[in-house]
Amino acid sequence: MTLAVRAGLFTAILMLASACGSTSEPELEYVEQPVEMLYNEGFEHLERRDYNRAAAYFDEVERQHPFSEWARRSMLMAAFANYQANKYEEAISDAERFIALHPGNASAPYAYYLIALSHYERIFDVGRDQSTTRNALDSLQQVVRRYPDSPYAMDARVKIDMTRDHLAGKEMSVGRWYMRSGYYLAAINRYQNVLRDYPTTSHVPEALHRLVESYVALGVDTEARQVAAVLGYNYPGSDWYQNSYDLLTSRGIAIEGEGLEEQDPSLIRRAMDRIFG
């Protein structure tokens, strides 16, 4: 390949990259226009799902007519357009600015909800850092706390449960890693975090069983039996209880044929108070 051909290909690649960038990040040339025209342009692009250009027009409303009623509306519309374009940081920034300037506005609940959604949509898998998940939880709880009777609070409550389950899953993932590495005390701390901080999530039965496994590995048979009793009392038909039962009977810690959950009600109460208290 000659130098001239290589240069031509390089130029073509640069031109293509430039063209692609210009479509994803539109910049409107400043041309003074009536506020209604700018707003309607933004709304039309929004309806066509051209979210980047819609946000650009709504931003232009603010730039050209900052003290108009349309500017207030455009601020929140820009936040929504950026959210739809998956530009979550921009959406959060727009919504937070709206709240700062118009805290008592009737649309403030939606602004808080949009912030929460922008955090929620960026929740990663349990193997990654969970700071975004915690931000989502905090923002969702703020929606419920500030506007408990709003329609946004209803959806926020559902997402709170899913977010808490996600955080519990992270604790379980770390706990399992500690167990595989032989760090049983560290694993126990993680499983107890699940029981203390996320007691209504789907991970609780497994957390109890993993505690049983950890205590057995450490030779603390009494603790293992008590936790298994709590597991049997709360989840008598679960596979996790069966796994704990099989483990304890195979080690001679429990007698086969006797249900752990029926051994001693006072023991169960004491164990529950210690684990969940």
Q: What is the domain class of 24-166 according to CATH? A: mainly alpha
| Domain boundaries of the chain, sorted by first residue | 24-166, 170-276
**For residues 180 and 142, what is the distance between their CA atoms, to the nearest angstrom?**
38
Can you give the pLDDT at residue 270?
61
Q: Which of 232, 219, 236 is nearest to 268 (CA)?
A: 232
**For residues 120 and 113, what is the distance between their CA atoms, to the nearest angstrom?**
10
Report residues of the chain scoring pLDDT below 70. Answer: 1-33, 35, 125-128, 255-277
Q: Is the Cβ–Cβ distance between 187 and 213 less than 8 Å?
A: no
Can you give the pLDDT at residue 110?
95
Residue tagged 């993680």 (tokens): 190
Q: What is the pTM (predicted TM-score) of this model?
A: 0.74
Can you give the pLDDT at residue 7?
34
The rounded percent of the chain whose pLDDT value lies above 70 is 77
Q: Which of 137, 97, 91, 140 is nearest to 118 (CA)?
A: 91
Can you give the pLDDT at residue 63?
81
3-class SS at 219?
Answer: coil
Residue tagged 């929504």 (tokens): 80
Residue 144: Cβ within 10 Å count: 19
Q: What is the CA radius of gyration of the chain?
A: 28
Can you give the pLDDT at residue 32?
60
What pLDDT digit, counting tens, does each position of 205-257 carry? 999 999 999 999 999 998 898 899 899 888 988 999 999 999 999 988 876 65
Q: How distant, in Å, are the alpha carbons of 8, 16, 100, 120 from that of 13?
A: 9, 5, 44, 36
Q: What is the H or E stretch that residue 73 is in? A: helix 69-84
Q: In the CATH scheme, what is the code of domain 170-276?
A: 1.25.40.10
Q: Is the Cβ–Cβ distance between 217 and 229 less than 8 Å?
A: no
The answer to whether 24-166 and 170-276 have equal CATH topology is yes
3-class SS at 256?
Answer: coil
Can you give the pLDDT at residue 25?
55
Can you give the pLDDT at residue 258?
60
- Count helices and strands (H / E) in the chain: 13, 0
Cα separation of the two ends of the chain: 74
